[in-house]
Chain A
Amino acid sequence: MFSHIFLYKLKSIVRDRNLMFWTLMFPILLSVLFWMAFSNLTKGEAFRDIKIAVINDAAYKENANFDKALSYVSADNKDRLFNVTYTTMDSAKKLLKDGQIEGYIYFNNGLNLTVKNSGINESIIKEFLDYYVQTSSTASTIITENPSAIYGSLAKDLTQKVQYLKEVPAGNANPDTVVAYFYTLIAMTCLYGSFWGQKEVSDIQANQSYVGARVNVAPTHKLKVFSISMLAAITVQLIEIFALLLFLIFVLKINFGSQIGYIVLTCFVGTLTGVTFGALISAIVTKKEGIKIAIIIGGSMIMSFLSGMMYAGIKTIISRNLPALSYINPANLIADSFYSLYYYSGHEHYFINTLLLCAFTLLFSFLTYIILRRQKYASI
């Protein structure tokens, strides 16, 4: 009996092309989009020439060193940082007003920079000027204290920059930030298991589907049919998740580090949470299928957004302002399980997240059971 129901459930699930799209093709499509959108993030952006103006007056001409430094970074080659216009104060003001330049530099009691807003480009200009001011201060102190340094290595030391930092990852995996986005994607796919849970509940409710009506008049115990169908749903969803994982690892070449076993375990628990979540939604909402699906899509989108799928910084914001929210959001729990593998050498946090997911799964299953049990239909 078991194998009969199980096998036919599998068939009916795999033949549901619509849901197969959502649970398999959609995550794969999304992963390709992520790959396109985020692949540039870690490579570091190429510098664009930042357009600036310099007020070419008497005060500027006194600072030959600055002119030298500036022409060094604005030389027309591929490392060019600035595109400089030498002009007068009035025309620089006009250029800035019209948005032709990002800011203008002038000497008046030291170096001055005028900008009209604060952004990345403005920060780069300021950083350059600060560096110049600080290095010249260093140079002049050394020359006053030890004039003979000019004949030594001073000039070389001033222009050379030594790398003193070594980044050490907090945990085992290499710190590749893009991977975090794919974690949230896997979390979303786990939650999309809800589609199958939703379908299985509809399929045993006589007022929701013809199949449901037929199942209700069959002599088989409803709980038995339901458990076996859920098992079939979980099987299919697991296969889909692993297909996604394989796609990520072998086609998009995402590096998930060495802890693949734990990642698989999280996928497994996450799938259970997802499928039971869908079952619960389907049991609570007694409206048409379209609305159930819309709630599932909308719900998992919001949960995924809150776990950092569209914007990674949201995680920091939530853990600062609303820490409780990160513990009741299943998408975040799944993504956090991955994160904790990435951060920690031990597995304590990983298991806290996983246990919370299990607790959610049990809660969802229990509530679904309470709602569905002893449902009778006087007339449909």
Chain B
Amino acid sequence: MQVFKVFFRIIKKNLGELSVYMIIFLVLAVLLSSINTGSQYNEFAQTKSKIAFINNDKTSALTDGLRDYLNENAIIADIKNDERTLQDALFYRDIEYIVKVPSGFSDKFYNGEKAEIEITKVPDSISGVYMDNMVEKYLNTARIYINNMKNISGEKLTQYIQKDLSKTANVNLSAADAVQTKKYLYYYNYAAYSLSAILILGVCIVMFVFNKLDIKRRNLCSPLKNSSINMQLILGNLTLSLGAWLIIVITSIIIYRKDMFTISGGLFILNLLVFTIAMLSISFLISNIVKSRPATSAAANVVALGSSFIGGVFVPQYLLGAKVLTIASFTPTYWYVKSNNIISSLAVYNAQTLKPVFTNMLIVFAFAVAVLAITLVVMKQRKTVS
């Protein structure tokens, strides 16, 4: 098993570089698990966000009513009405939303003229959308009352609106089927990035040594059978991949403990295993194409980051454009993340619900086989050339 031993001696020498990707990933994973970024997208009961309410108009029932309504559903911060202070507060996220009623608003509103409330919000925030919705709802309801009940008193107006808007449909979270988006979804999605980088880099580093012309010639005239060398190399590559897979799985068990020992946890682990095999196959192809040692880390980063960005690792798939997703479907990362998302949303596990998951796994596995076939052709070509 000399070749196998050498394989890991080379890995050991380059462990520093390889472990960087593992460290990046672990830092991100620990950060993500402690702050649980997923909650932003998945909150039913909106948390109250902090807002500022500024009334430059005269005090009227309409604006007071709006203020009271917002005060019930958000926290109105006590803040000085001064542009600098407001900008500062928004910049440091002390408040997330500013409602500014311009002077003359109430009169225009009552007269049915075009009236606008100025709002400023933290870009890209879910809370901003909720707040927009709240203000719009209040004003639209007010408009209906004013249009249809001439001379409605201010007191009655606010009272009616409050009564209407406090009504909601009853939502039952069916307890038997309740699924929480699995906490480790983000962990396993991000794992795709670091696993890709580590495998491409690791496989390329070793194969680059063995593919050096002089060393290759030397190995060819050694008493060791060529098939034996290849077998040991394959064994080495497999051990490396499974090792990386195992580290990610064990770390997830340390972070999420017994949550991992569930059906969905098992499916995540299996899905990652299939993805690992596909990535190994791709790494093997890259190792046969890349010509110089520094180019390997370039290739590793471009492929790992590229597939992660368009495959939905960093930006959720439902936010990506249709064209991007079409391109992404040519990478195993896309299918891997897709299965993760499906597994995460499952409540029951039966043949019907699991079918898309296994179909996706099969696609990822097909990638592995197809890329391996291409690699063998490339190798054959090269052999005949040299």
Contacts and interface: CB of A to CB of B under 8 A. Distances in A.
Interface of A: 18, 21-22, 26, 29-30, 33-34, 36-41, 43, 45, 93, 96-99, 109-120, 122-123, 126-127, 129-135, 137-138, 141-142, 145-146, 149, 152-154, 157-158, 161-171, 175, 177, 180, 287-288, 290-291, 293-295, 297-298, 301-302, 305, 310-317, 319-321, 323, 339-340, 343-346, 349
A363 B310 CA distance: 38
A37 B148 contact: no
A116 B347 CA distance: 8
B325 to A, nearest CB: 9
A157 B144 contact: yes
Contacts of B294: 18, 21
Nearest to B152: A145
B181 A119 contact: yes
B167 A137 contact: yes
B170 A137 contact: no
A112 B170 contact: yes
Contact of B180 (A117, A154, A313, A323): A117
21 contacts: A29-B306, A36-B324, A41-B319, A96-B174, A97-B176, A98-B348, A99-B346, A110-B170, A115-B171, A115-B172, A134-B168, A138-B164, A154-B144, A165-B136, A170-B87, A175-B123, A177-B124, A297-B297, A305-B28, A311-B314, A313-B124
B160 interface: yes
A123 B141 CA distance: 21
A113 B346 CA distance: 19
Contacts of A132: 169
Contacts of B23: 298
Contacts of B115: 164
A345 B17 CA distance: 45
A360 to B, nearest CB: 21
Interface stretch (B40-48, B241-249, B257-265, B374-382): B40-48
B297 to A, nearest CB: 7
B131 to A, nearest CB: 10
Interface stretch (B89-97, B229-237, B282-290, B330-338): B89-97
B179 A162 contact: no
Interface string B141-154: 10111011100000
Contacts of B302: 26, 29
Q: Is the interface of B mostly helix, strand, loop or mixed?
A: helix
A336 B171 CA distance: 41
A43 B324 CA distance: 14
B169 A112 contact: yes
Given A115-B174, A138-B164, A294-B16, A168 B100 contact: yes
Contact of A343 (B90, B132, B181): B90
B2 interface: no
Contact of A126 (B125, B169, B297, B347): B169
A316 B28 contact: no
Contacts of B171: 112-115, 126
Contacts of A120: 41-42, 318
Q: Which 6 A-B pairs have the closest CB atoms?
A: A118-B44, A129-B169, A40-B321, A18-B294, A294-B20, A177-B123
Contacts of A170: 86-87, 90-91, 120
A116 B149 contact: no
A340 B91 CA distance: 8
B64 interface: no
B161 to A, nearest CB: 8
Given A97-B348, A149-B149, A344-B91, A167 B121 contact: yes
Contact of A290 (B17, B135, B136): B17
B353 A99 contact: yes
B139 A134 contact: no
Given A142-B148, A343-B90, A157 B143 contact: yes
Given A154-B147, A164-B136, 15 more contacts: A98-B352, A110-B169, A111-B170, A115-B171, A117-B345, A119-B181, A119-B345, A130-B167, A152-B147, A166-B116, A169-B120, A294-B16, A311-B314, A313-B37, A344-B87
Nearest to B105: A164
Interface in B10-46: 14, 16-17, 20-21, 23-24, 27-28, 35, 37, 40-44
B120 to A, nearest CB: 5
B305 interface: yes
B281 interface: no
Contacts of B125: 313, 316
A254 B122 CA distance: 20
Contacts of A112: 169-172
Contacts of A293: 17, 297
A343 B135 CA distance: 23
